[in-house]
Chain A
Amino acid sequence: MSTLDEIAAGSSTLSAAELRRYARHLVIPEVGVEGQERLRAARVLLVGAGGLGSPASLYLAAAGVGTLGLVEFDRVDESNLQRQVLYGDADLGRPKIEAAVERLRGVNPNVRFEPHPVRLDAGNALELVEGYDLVVDGSDNFPTRYLVNDACVKAGRPDVWGAVFRFEGQVSIFGAPGGPCYRCLFPEPPPPGLVPSCAEGGVLGVLPGIVGALQANEAVKWILGAGDSLVGRLVLFDALAFRFRELQLPRSPECPVCSREPAEISLRETAAVCADPSGGPAPRPGPPPDPSGVVQLAPRQVAERLGSNAPPLLLDVRNPNEHAYCRIEGSTLVPLHELPVRFEELDREREIVVYCHTGVRSAEACRFLAARGFPLTLNLAGGIEAWSLEVDPSVPRY
């Protein structure tokens, strides 16, 4: 029965307003009235309403997905606005989830929104994922990525996966029945060490727009049951060269997660591998060493030490342009790449607190100095970013 016949026969449950709103969908044979009804009945969970979640949620809401769950606990920051198109200047400082729901409701008031203002963790992941038909992962850190993957495999829900870094984007679907999961490709996160995050490495603002829209495309196709899905295929997009490539991803019989029975899969959080303040667990208050042997100090502890009788040397290992933009008063600049030829300039007897933007490069500097006999090197956990948030808001963030 054609779309017009269905409507004429009154067998469609879509209202007149819905018929008008989704007119361009209804004329596509792969969607039609039935497909639009399927979209309306669908429940999609978006993990993260940031660079990827912004375009994905806007398109899913516009497409008429009936229920959209959003997991997001962050607030809107100025550095988000270059790519997170859900938000504008007026939203600065607001909880993202509040601003996102407001914006999305403006796009399509027919959608039911279910905000989850929490951080996804091993305790809540399964319950959240099980409540939806499909998950769109737009999170920005490895622990969450692995947790979403494991929960999706356990619950039997597809994980529409996207990632961006600088000019490179990737999309796939993991955890779908019969298909591979993320752990088939990489069983465990990389060991703790130097792994740049978007905060550290940067991302072209348009890129998450493209990749998030591709995720929305795959989610809509999955709901409709139309076309070829990305299960078993990883699409790589190089925005600089403008090239798409596609990699085959077979399911691994040795996969530590999807080769098991769902009941046997236990959800656990993997350690954060980078000091991304929006991603990993909060910096530890005490100074226990992290797995890589670097002693971490919280911003407040550093502030206390600086105010003491024997203040430590503050060593900034960022690049000169970053130092020029903002710094902690009284710090010495030695960019990380110059450290191997300049470390002899530093006083071995003095306590040294090293910092960078988010704590990744400075951890590397601590390891470097410790290996060369500097007994008292400490890392400012979370970098100058955390310093600005927790100690001195006059230090601009970037």
Chain B
Amino acid sequence: MELARPVATLELSSEAERVVWRHARSASPEEACGLLLGRLASGRVRVLTVRPARNVAADRRRGYVVDPADLAAGLFAARRRGLELVGFYHSHPEGVALPSARDEAEAWPGVSYLLVSVPAVGSPVLRSYRRCRGATMREETMREERVATVDERPGRE
């Protein structure tokens, strides 16, 4: 198992994380998916809004396709608020929060992929990945990024 240093930090508020958890739990055993809107700074991805989306995959137990209408609406909402699409989340109801071969193959560069697994007891587990250059500079692989909880103190923003 390769344990590379996290390539970036994905910052989520407790509330945003709870939205992702609840969506993953309620969609189980189907995969849940959605958009992460926020701001990018060097090495930091700050998620400011989580937008659950419909999964329109043919077999929603084994994959996800973000509804194009929800993607478009999310991009409009981001522009309106001066935010960027910083990533996507989706759940692995029957597995662990590791990217599947398909996740690797279809990942866009430059955005975070937040994966949520739903274990039997306890809360969903989050891990985030992004597509990065591999050691050979030509291949790109999914590398884990750190997930951090950042809660605004009341009164700030």
- Residues of A near any B CB (own CB < 8 A): 139-142, 145, 163-166, 168, 170, 185-186, 190-191, 193-198, 200-201, 234, 236, 240-241, 243, 245-249, 273-274, 276, 340, 360-361, 364
Please determine whether B25 and A190 come into contact, CB atoms closer than 8 angstroms.
Answer: yes
Please determine whether A243 and B125 come into contact, CB atoms closer than 8 angstroms.
Answer: no
Chain A residue nearest to B144 (CB atoms) is A241
Q: Does B7 contact A (CB under 8 A)?
A: no
Contacts of B28 in A (CB 8 A): 190-191, 193-195
CA distance A139 to B121 in the complex (A): 9
Please determine whether B95 and A247 come into contact, CB atoms closer than 8 angstroms.
Answer: no
Chain B residue nearest to A171 (CB atoms) is B122
Please determine whether B120 and A273 come into contact, CB atoms closer than 8 angstroms.
Answer: yes
Chain B residue nearest to A52 (CB atoms) is B121
A165 and B146 in contact, given A185-B18, A248-B14 (Cβ under 8 angstroms): no
Please determine whether B121 and A140 come into contact, CB atoms closer than 8 angstroms.
Answer: yes
The residues in B between 10 and 30 inclusive whose CB is less than 8 angstroms from any CB of A are: 14-15, 17-18, 21-22, 25-26, 28-29
CA distance A196 to B18 in the complex (A): 20
Contacts of B146 in A (CB 8 A): 241, 243
Please determine whether A245 and B119 come into contact, CB atoms closer than 8 angstroms.
Answer: no
CA distance A45 to B18 in the complex (A): 29
A168 and B125 in contact, given A191-B28, A195-B93 (Cβ under 8 angstroms): yes
Query: A196 is contacted by which of B62, B120, B123, B148 (Cβ under 8 Å)?
Result: B120
Contacts of B119 in A (CB 8 A): 163, 165-166, 168, 195-197, 201
**Shortest Cβ distance from A178 into chain B, in angstroms?**
18
CA distance A193 to B146 in the complex (A): 30
Contacts of B67 in A (CB 8 A): none
Please determine whether A163 and B123 come into contact, CB atoms closer than 8 angstroms.
Answer: yes
Chain A residue nearest to B120 (CB atoms) is A197
Q: Which DSSP category, helix, strand, loop or mixed, fits chain A's interface?
A: mixed
Binary A-proximity of B27-49 (CB < 8 A = 1, otherwise 0): 01100000000000000000000
**Shortest Cβ distance from B149 into chain A, in angstroms?**
5
Query: B29 is contacted by which of A191, A198, A246 (Cβ under 8 Å)?
Result: A191
CA distance A163 to B94 in the complex (A): 17
- Additional pairs, 15, CB under 8 Å, beyond known A163-B123, A186-B25, A364-B29: A165-B125, A166-B119, A168-B122, A170-B123, A185-B123, A190-B25, A190-B28, A193-B28, A195-B119, A241-B3, A243-B146, A245-B147, A247-B18, A249-B14, A340-B62
CA distance A186 to B119 in the complex (A): 13
Chain B residue nearest to A189 (CB atoms) is B25
Q: Does B118 contact A (CB under 8 A)?
A: yes
**Shortest Cβ distance from B91 into chain A, in angstroms?**
11
Please determine whether B29 and A194 come into contact, CB atoms closer than 8 angstroms.
Answer: yes
Q: Does B107 contact A (CB under 8 A)?
A: no
Q: For the complex of A and B, list the 9 residue pairs with the smallest distance between their C-beta atoms, beginning with the closest.
A: A163-B122, A193-B29, A194-B94, A165-B119, A197-B120, A248-B14, A190-B28, A247-B14, A194-B29
Contacts of A164 in B (CB 8 A): 122
A–B Cβ pairs within 8 angstroms, 29 of them: A141-B121, A142-B121, A164-B122, A165-B117, A165-B119, A165-B122, A166-B125, A170-B123, A186-B25, A190-B118, A191-B26, A193-B28, A193-B29, A193-B93, A193-B94, A194-B28, A194-B29, A195-B119, A196-B94, A198-B121, A234-B123, A240-B3, A241-B144, A245-B148, A246-B149, A247-B14, A247-B149, A248-B151, A276-B120
Binary A-proximity of B128-157 (CB < 8 A = 1, otherwise 0): 000000000000000010111101000000
CA distance A191 to B94 in the complex (A): 12
A163 and B96 in contact, given A193-B28, A248-B14 (Cβ under 8 angstroms): no
Contacts of A186 in B (CB 8 A): 21-22, 25, 123
Contacts of B147 in A (CB 8 A): 245
CA distance A364 to B62 in the complex (A): 11
CA distance A196 to B29 in the complex (A): 11
CA distance A198 to B148 in the complex (A): 26
Contacts of A249 in B (CB 8 A): 14, 18
Please determine whether B96 and A201 come into contact, CB atoms closer than 8 angstroms.
Answer: yes
Contacts of B6 in A (CB 8 A): 241
Query: A165 is contacted by which of B15, B62, B120, B151 (Cβ under 8 Å)?
Result: B120
CA distance A196 to B117 in the complex (A): 10
Chain A residue nearest to B1 (CB atoms) is A240
Chain A residue nearest to B126 (CB atoms) is A236
**Shortest Cβ distance from A269 into chain B, in angstroms?**
15
Contacts of B144 in A (CB 8 A): 241
Contacts of A364 in B (CB 8 A): 29, 61, 94
CA distance A360 to B6 in the complex (A): 33
Contacts of A145 in B (CB 8 A): 121
**Shortest Cβ distance from A397 into chain B, in angstroms?**
19
Contacts of A140 in B (CB 8 A): 120-121
**Shortest Cβ distance from A78 into chain B, in angstroms?**
21
Please determine whether B120 and A198 come into contact, CB atoms closer than 8 angstroms.
Answer: yes
Query: A195 is contacted by which of B62, B96, B118, B123 (Cβ under 8 Å)?
Result: B118
CA distance A190 to B119 in the complex (A): 10
Contacts of B95 in A (CB 8 A): 196
**Shortest Cβ distance from A335 into chain B, in angstroms?**
14
